[in-house]
């Protein structure tokens, strides 16, 4: 049996981390023995979940410099790892260094567009990129961003393919038990609800969604905006909501283990990001039958087909969010039709299909 190590910077509850955990959950344990390693000790939210799935987890403690690269090499040797699959550029760079001169194969999943990386991350990832045996990109937009500068265009690129990850369809049924959610949040049963599930980070541009709310409230009385998540922008977003005198119109739930259950009470899902790889929260919302309004960035427009499962708007115009959100809130028939198409669309993003393709590549490389 081949031993595979899944390597990532942290095990918080971001999109890449959830994809890694989902892949480990649906792996073929009869062919591959999976273990996980991560760098940042304080980002450990998924450790218990992985342990419960019978997956060994190792913290390499990468907070204090590059010593973790040596610890990774020792772990690979000690555990008899035959293939390392990295899920973040920093982890991938370290893996390429640690595995240099060994027969251990390396696969990398790219979750973000290259131009968005810090310059040091960009250059170290790009200059070591040839040491990967295979690369998966989570969207076509991400794949298109993987290119060398003109003066390095003759440099070898490993095989790159787009592989849409996604969710476990079997989990969706459990998310639809919404009894008491609105009461728990203090929202009346007849209030129109816009919702977003996201890490409260700058690139999510949730400030634009909040800025749209005064006009939306004027046109749709009683509307509520529910923001599920936590992050460094929370204080700033709360302050913006107060400045706009939105009061109870905007509700911050903080981090929720049951985020999909909370999303079940939304009427419309919204994402106003200025950059995005592939949003698992968006796919979860579609699976729940929620039409979406999203910005035309990254993989969002590859998930939502404009005019079918919702609307795709310009990321450069904050006001572009307003009309589509109002339209969906005011037109129940349109909302139901797009919600039905959303459920169908979500079936195209099945984590089990992605895992089968990944393991097929593992077998080819290890043959």
Q: Which residue has the tokens 């393709």?
A: 357
Q: Taking the model in full, what pTM does it have?
A: 0.86
User: When comparing pLDDT for 102 and 318, which is higher?
Assistant: 102
Residue 59 phi/psi, 5-degree rounding, is: -95, 125
Question: pLDDT by residue (tens digit) across 159-186?
Answer: 999 999 888 887 777 666 666 889 999 9
Question: pLDDT by residue (tens digit) across 244-272?
Answer: 999 999 999 999 888 888 999 999 999 99
Instruction: Residue 118: name the closest of 152, 86, 89, 153 by CA.
Output: 89
193 pLDDT more than 90: yes
Question: pLDDT by residue (tens digit) across 322-348?
Answer: 999 999 999 999 999 999 999 999 999
HEC readout, the chain: CEEEEEEECCCCCCHHHHHHHHHHHCCCCCCEEEEEEECCCCCCCCHHHHHHCCCEEEECCHHHCCHHHHHHHHHHHHHCCCEEEECCHHHHHHHHHHHCCCCCEEEEEECCCHHHCCHHHHHHHHHCHHHCCEEEECCHHHHHHCCCCHHHCCCCCCCEEECCCCECHHHHHHHCCCCCHHHHHCCCCCCCEEEEECCCCHHHCHHHHHHHHHHHHHHCCCCEEEEECCCCCHHHHHHHHHHCCCHHHEEEEECCCCHHHHHCCCCEEEECCCCCCCCHHHHHHHHCCCCEEEECCCCHHHHCCECCCEEEECCCCHHHHHHHHHHHHHCHHHHHHHHHHHHHHHCCCEHHHHHHHHHHHHHHHHC
Neighbouring CB atoms inside 10 A of 176's CB total: 12
**Distance, CA of 95 to CA of 113 (rounded, Å):** 20
The whole-chain average pLDDT of the chain stands at: 92
> With b meaning 16 or more CB within 10 Å and e meaning fewer, what string describes 38-77?
bbbeebebbbebbeebebebbbbebeeeeebbebbbebbe
What pLDDT shows up at residue 176? 62
- Asked whether 223 and 249 are in contact (CB, 8 A), the reply is yes
**Distance, CA of 251 to CA of 302 (rounded, Å):** 29
What pLDDT shows up at residue 25? 83
The residues, any chain, with a CB within 8 Å of residue 196's CB and separated by 6 or more, are: 206, 209, 225, 226, 227, 228, 229, 269, 270, 271, 272, 281
Question: pLDDT by residue (tens digit) across 199-255?
Answer: 999 999 999 999 999 999 999 999 999 999 999 999 999 999 999 999 999 999 999
The CATH architecture of the domain made up of 2-166+350-366 is 3-Layer(aba) Sandwich (3.40)
Quote the crossing angle between the two packed helices 89-99 and 67-79, to the nearest 10°: 60
What pLDDT shows up at residue 77? 96
What average pLDDT does range 311-318 have in this prediction? 91
The CATH architecture of the domain made up of 169-346 is 3-Layer(aba) Sandwich (3.40)
Residue range(s) occupied by CATH 3.40.50.2000 in the chain = 2-166+350-366, 169-346
Quote the crossing angle between the two packed helices 280-287 and 15-25, to the nearest 10°: 60
């Amino acid at each position: 049996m081949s031993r595979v190590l899944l390597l990532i910077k942290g095990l918080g509850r971001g999109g890449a981390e959830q994809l890694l955990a989902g892949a480990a959950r649906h792996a073929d344990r009869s062919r591959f023995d999976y273990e996980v390693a991560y760098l940042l000790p304080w980002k450990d939210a998924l450790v218990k979940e992985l342990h419960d799935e019978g997956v060994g987890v190792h913290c390499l403690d990468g907070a204090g410099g590059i010593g973790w690269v040596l610890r990774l090499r020792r772990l690979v040797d000690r555990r008899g790892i035959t293939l390392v699959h990295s899920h973040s550029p920093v982890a991938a760079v370290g893996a390429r260094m640690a595995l240099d001169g060994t027969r251990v194969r390396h696969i990398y999943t790219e979750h973000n567009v290259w131009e968005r990386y810090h310059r040091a991350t960009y250059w170290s990832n790009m200059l070591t990129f040839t040491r990967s045996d295979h690369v998966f990109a989570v969207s076509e937009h991400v794949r298109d961003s993987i290119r060398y500068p003109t003066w390095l265009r003759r440099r070898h690129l490993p095989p790159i393919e787009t592989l849409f990850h996604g969710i476990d369809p079997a989990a969706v049924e459990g998310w639809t038990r919404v009894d008491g959610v609105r009461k728990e949040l203090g929202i009346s049963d007849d209030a129109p609800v816009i919702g977003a599930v996201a890490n409260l980070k700058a690139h999510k541009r949730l400030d634009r969604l909040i800025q749209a709310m005064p006009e939306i409230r004027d046109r749709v009385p009683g509307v509520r905006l529910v923001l599920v998540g936590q992050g460094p922008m929370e204080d700033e977003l709360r302050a913006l909501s107060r400045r706009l005198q939105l009061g109870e119109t905007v509700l911050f739930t903080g981090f929720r283990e049951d985020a999909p259950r909370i999303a079940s009470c939304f009427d419309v899902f919204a994402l106003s990001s200025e950059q995005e790889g592939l949003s698992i929260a968006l796919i979860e919302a579609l699976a729940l039958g929620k039409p979406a309004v999203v910005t035309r960035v990254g993989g969002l427009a590859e998930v939502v087909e404009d005019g079918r499962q919702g609307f795709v708007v310009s990321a450069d115009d904050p006001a572009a969010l307003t009309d589509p959100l109002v339209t969906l809130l005011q037109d129940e028939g349109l909302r139901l039709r797009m919600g039905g198409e959303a459920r169908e669309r979500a079936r195209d993003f099945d984590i089990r299909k992605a895992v089968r393709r990944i393991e097929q590549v593992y077998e080819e490389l290890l043959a």
